[in-house]
Amino acid sequence: NFEEFKRNLSGKLVVYIEKGTIYRFKTLARIFSLMNLRSLPDLDVKGVLYDALSGTLSINEGKVTLYDTILFGRDVRVIANGDINLAKDEYDLLMGVQVFRVVDEFLKEIPVAGPILLGKDKMFIASYFEVQGRLANPEVHFMPFKSIKESTLAVLRRALTYPVKPEEFSG
């Protein structure tokens, strides 16, 4: 049966997908809600448009471990590291989210500091979240920088700020 299949699933998968839309992404919708981003489109209706989605997934006995899984969206960049336990239907993830509209609307209005803070890649603001619990209804908590392990924070920071175009990221 399907439950037994999920428990016994094992292997490694390297993913690279170009140009698509993800609908009904409840976890990201909750993150946007915590970030108070009312200006972004309804994820159930318009979805999240992305230029590339890439990452490495290791699967062992139904537990999927995500390594530097990155969604290069048109309005948002998301990175996820952690576990999705298919057998138990549970998340245990750390996600970094960078919303470009927020950066554009807020920082571009600051005459001198805006361009300095944004830089040529216009990448400045990133928020980090812990996602835990049931897949159907996970708990999402904002994580201040000081509560994130330095090694995890370093990986997230590098991935969110690495000035790469999605077409250059295929591997």
In a domain, 102, yes or no: yes
**Encoded amino acid at 105, one letter:** E
**3-state secondary structure at position 145:** helix
In sequence order, what are the beta bridge partners of 98? Answer: 77
The set of long-range contacts for 146-155, using a CB threshold of 8 Å and a minimum separation of 24, is: 148/94, 152/81, 152/94, 153/128, 155/68, 155/81
Please compute the mean of the pLDDT values over residues 109-119 and round it to a whole number.
55
In a domain, 90, yes or no: yes
**3-state secondary structure at position 63:** strand
Domain that holds residue 154: 2-164
Please compute the mean of the pLDDT values over residues 127-155 and round it to a whole number.
74
Task: Check: CB of residue 70 under 8 Å from CB of residue 77.
Answer: yes
Provide the 10 A C-beta neighbour count for residue 80: 23
| 58 — pLDDT class (breaks 50, 70, 90) | very high
Of the ranges 48-57, 69-78, 103-112, which one carries the lowest mean pLDDT score? 103-112
- Burial class of residue 121 in the structure, from the number of CB atoms within 10 Å of its CB (0-12 exposed, 13-18 middle, 19+ buried): exposed
| 139 compared with 27, residue with greater pLDDT | 139
Domain count, the chain: 1
Question: CA 108, CA 116: separation in Å to the nearest integer?
Answer: 10
Is pLDDT above 90 for 18? yes
In a domain, 169, yes or no: no
> How many whole angstroms from its chain centre is CA 72?
9
Is pLDDT above 60 for 147? no
- Burial class of residue 84 in the structure, from the number of CB atoms within 10 Å of its CB (0-12 exposed, 13-18 middle, 19+ buried): buried
In a domain, 19, yes or no: yes
Question: CA 68, CA 57: separation in Å to the nearest integer?
Answer: 9
In a domain, 170, yes or no: no
Please compute the mean of the pLDDT values over residues 137-166 and round it to a whole number.
63
| 153 — pLDDT class (breaks 50, 70, 90) | low
In a domain, 80, yes or no: yes
